[in-house]
Structure 1
């Protein structure tokens, strides 16, 4: 139904792979003979609504995440990573296409990604990988509990144990490969999905062909109080230290919800240990690239709000860990570059020594990781095209915005003009809005001009959300949200 600009057909992917001309600038790739190089496995571990600040390595005083922290110590940590459009479906579409939401039309939840998209699954399958997807998909738009049949609606992924979307984490529904009969994960689905991922990877340990696996957990997204009792007992609401940007009148509710949120995170941490132990046991760790990230964060009371979409750090900042085998010659450690959602695919392709299709808009950070290019990662764009759901227009005062995030500042404008300006070094909780502050006139002017330049380069006219809804033929209800319950 939708025609996506700059999207190629599957045949075009094959043509692209045979092309000998490497892409230039940010998307430069090696011209090596890829057939003579052992291809790395790729494992993407995707959480839902895990903010960077809710990890031990991210500085949270309330929780210990020893296994995530250990992974961070072994990885390239993009500490300034953001979700360019901090909502589930837009992030996932950017993850697997390397495109921004206004290019692929995926700027709201519960819409369908073009089945002809040049996607991660198709690219890696074409390159001889065993590809698999386990867990929450949320890119089909046909209803949250509907069967997604094999073919292009699965965007090239071969192995399939997935659901469109559910936040019932105990006995949740999924579909197994080609079987249209709904099944249920046993117990807490984060555990069962991890076991399925371990089975998939273990089955490939003696295979000459590498694997690409996306493990997509639904946690720690709300409901916050459905983790196993073992983990809920680890956190007492009254003992939690709250962020100073939480209003006093919300503290009791936030403490209760944070305790449940942390319980989910602690369970995730144990699953990271299980995955890493399996890779070591299978002798796969030395040839597996691991990406640990999240689709967006969770405000959890900060700035008087919950969930995502808004441009504050608790919403947009995400973990972005790249564990890279030593054989690739890239050192672990913190990286300052501002890394965005659409940058994951081209960076993985660069690390995999594979060509990057012309449809991809993100930056390939391979040369940066190798210490050969320090020109990238100075700034990136954050966007809200059409507010909806938990930040809808009539009830939550949601609004369109475009923002520029640098290594120091966050600058955001809405349709009426400048809205937010934060010095994130001096004000890490973003409690002092500097917009139109006389002392920051020159800085605001510079950020404004840089934002306008980036929007122009991206072809983004920054129009009201209704314009884009009409362009992409997206139907919404009175709250501006795509309805989905009647499709279940």
Structure 2
């Protein structure tokens, strides 16, 4: 006597044998679900939105990224929420504003309690990897300034990344080292961005059979500007470079020299980007990989007479952003003027990959707009925050607390005293005319003020003094950063 269950099994086996003998094939009604897309984030340091060929710059040579732009979603108004290294990077990984995750001052640690991109994707079955500059594991208050920059990042401070070839910070790109998963120190041979890209390619080849999240974080084109490989420096003659009209005459000679070196770094990195893209093609996974290229913040490069970052002008605030995902968005260029913050990167990636967005995430999911299923309203705005000016932008150097928004057309900024800057970027792309208080723009200013207040409310930002935020988070100022009277 056989059971009903055994009888069914025997009938099934007989059926399979008969089917094989007769050549009969069953039709499968439900195809296998598509594989989860891979994610590769290429993060440069201090690469402004204006220094790329596809952005209309006639001098800088970026042929690989220019070709990639022709097959990608291209953001023309991508904004760094706080245009300086550690805060921007922490916001990218958490989808939170700096005053929420607490990294609003360089070289301060992102708390272990933070829920990050790698932890979310690891829970969803992704392999995770991080290569290059980290800069969110800062030292304790009592330590000497920059004490943590040359130390290994402990395993529990890697925020969910397993494959690990990283260092907290260095700007010596030709004599650079990193620590691996076991805290063993290794040297990057030659120009470190090239070696880091080779490591990324090895990670891709190793993991191409399963979904993965990889962040490749280059140090350049951050200064020092004159340290790119010689073959790239030879490409640029400072005397032949065109400067932006907002560079003062007195600074033009210095600007040309630094710009030549900056462009040399950009072209070297473009070569590395080409190598990475070729590796994705060779591995057969380009179609199903979300490749995102961006930067943590820009570089003033003497525009407005200013250098580097933390400033509210476009050269500091705007960053490049390309999203290449053939399987999801096709292989043709789509330009979006949508103001898109690095706070929005994580929720948008989660939206694209159909993973639930945690309640801790404060950014906006723009996946439907990238896919062409929705259109921007035209009223979107990206928040810009500098709660505490520091280091080269400290109070003694003229730095101050400010909050602002960047819309498709306008830049509007307040400091603690009141409205500070208003630019109509459509009519004044180099931000040469401050329109604060202009009768012709009174209605525009009022509308932007209302929009800024709404963004501050969403971010739970009370716009207090720098001293107050440093007290709230129990941080100490470095060096001479705190020589000021609060609120002045």
TM-score (norm 1): 0.89
1:134 aligns with 2:131: yes
Q: Classify the secondary structure of the residue corresponding to 2:476.
A: coil
Q: In terms of Rg, which structure is larger? A: 2
Quote the residue 1:30 is aligned against: none
User: How far off is 1:379 after superposition?
Assistant: 1.0
Give the whole-Å Cα distance in 2 for the aligned partners of 1:182 and 1:202.
Answer: 23
Q: Gapped runs of 5+ residues in structure 2?
A: 1-29, 140-147, 483-488
Give the whole-Å Cα distance in 2 for the aligned partners of 1:137 and 1:397.
Answer: 28
1:158 aligns with 2:162: yes
Q: Classify the secondary structure of the residue corresponding to 1:217.
A: strand
| Structure 1 residues 56 and 329, CA gap change in structure 2 (3 angstroms) | closer
Give the whole-Å Cα distance in 2 for the aligned partners of 1:385 and 1:211.
Answer: 35
Contact 1:386/1:480 (<8 A) preserved: no
User: How far off is 1:66 after superposition?
Assistant: 1.0
Give the alignment's Cα RMSD to 1 decimal.
1.6
1:202 aligns with 2:172: no
1:144 aligns with 2:149: yes
Q: String of CA shifts for 1:267-323, please: whole Å, max 9, x gaps.
A: 011111111111111101011000000000000000001000000000000011110
Quote the residue 2:181 is aligned against: 177
Q: Gapped runs of 5+ residues in structure 1?
A: 1-32, 482-488
User: How far off is 1:157 after superposition?
Assistant: 0.3
Aligned length: 444
| Structure 1 residues 457 and 181, CA gap change in structure 2 (3 angstroms) | closer
Quote the residue 1:124 is aligned against: 121
Contact 1:48/1:88 (<8 A) preserved: yes
Contact 1:330/1:369 (<8 A) preserved: no
User: How far off is 1:330 after superposition?
Assistant: 8.6
Contact 2:362/2:459 (<8 A) preserved: no
Contact 1:125/1:131 (<8 A) preserved: yes
User: How far off is 1:266 after superposition?
Assistant: 0.3
Residues 51-450 of structure 1 aligned to structure 2 (within 5 Å): 51-142=48-139, 143-151=148-156, 153-178=157-182, 180-205=183-208, 207=209, 209-327=210-328, 332-375=333-376, 378-394=380-396, 396-450=397-451
Which range moves more in the overlay, 448-457 or 186-195? Answer: 448-457
TM-score (norm 2): 0.89
Contact 2:103/2:110 (<8 A) preserved: yes
Q: Classify the secondary structure of the residue corresponding to 1:111.
A: coil
* 4+ long deviations beyond 4 Å: 327-331
User: How far off is 1:60 after superposition?
Assistant: 1.2
User: How far off is 1:374 after superposition?
Assistant: 2.9
User: How far off is 1:326 after superposition?
Assistant: 2.5
